[in-house]
Amino acid sequence: MADLGAIERTAKECRDCALHESRTQVVFGRGNPAARILLVGEGPGKDEDLQGMPFVGAAGQLLDKILAAVDLSEQDVFILNTVLCRPPGNRVPEPAEVSACARHREALLAALDPPIVVLLGATAAKAVLGPKTSITAVRGSRIVREGRAYYPTFHPAALLRDPSRKRPVWHDFQRIAKDYRLILSGAADAADDGETEPWPTPDGVESR
């Protein structure tokens, strides 16, 4: 299991961008450090900034329900934001803030090394897949890079604003859960013959 303590301590002292001036606290991740699914959100809101945990407000409650609907629990996932400090007034983080936080995200990604990364919304999709990424264009696809599969989908807060987005997100999470179970069974097979878990498809983009 990854030891996230050092990464968390470094993140909690970070003053690399202006968001540190207005934060109550740095919001690190929550979930299981051994999880095989990493969920990446946008940035902490008011509740998260106060409680120091990601996705504990209304969007977080919806996210927990979505996960439960496909039989995933906090044990199956680790949840992190693109930026670890709350943007004032919950505005979208600036590109410079997203870049400043990259060292913490990348350290976490390397430590957790999850085969599945779910990108919740445009900010996470742009941060990870590139700044020109359009979430509506890539949502529902599975993008395999260097053996890791990325699943861009809509942010839970977008579902609260526009319930017509629930159905595609439901579809996305069903696929994620199915792939996850495939990986777990592959990991069990690989453990039997002493190999590390394989990703079952080659690098590339597969659409919905």
What are the residues binding ligand URA (CB under 6 A)? 41-45, 48, 54-55, 57, 59-60, 81, 157
Q: Residue 81 or residue 153: which is nearer to ligand URA going by CB?
A: 81
What is the smallest separation between the CB atom of 64 and ligand URA, expressed in angstroms?
A: 12
Strands 37-41 and 30-31: unpaired
Q: Kindly state the smallest distance separating residue 53's Cβ from ligand URA, in Å.
A: 8
Q: Which residue is closest to ligand URA by CB?
A: 41
Q: How far is the CB of 55 from ligand URA (least distance, A)?
A: 4
CB of 49 or CB of 179, closer to ligand URA: 49
Q: Could you tell me the CA-to-CA distances from 27 to 24, 62, 76 in Å, in that order? A: 9, 19, 20
Contacts of 128 (CB under 8 A, 6+ apart): 40, 117, 119, 150
The β-bridge partners of 150 are: 117, 143
- Residue placing its CB nearer to ligand URA in the complex, 48 or 97: 48
- In 13-101, which ranges are continuous DSSP H helix? 19-22, 46-51, 58-69, 95-100
77 HSE (CA, 13 A, CB side) = 26
- 88's torsion region: left (phi>0), alpha (psi -120 to 50) or beta? beta
Q: 121 vs 140, which CB is nearer to ligand URA? A: 121
Report the residue number, 53 or 183, with the smaller CB distance to ligand URA.
53
How far apart are CB 121 and ligand URA at their closest, in Å?
7
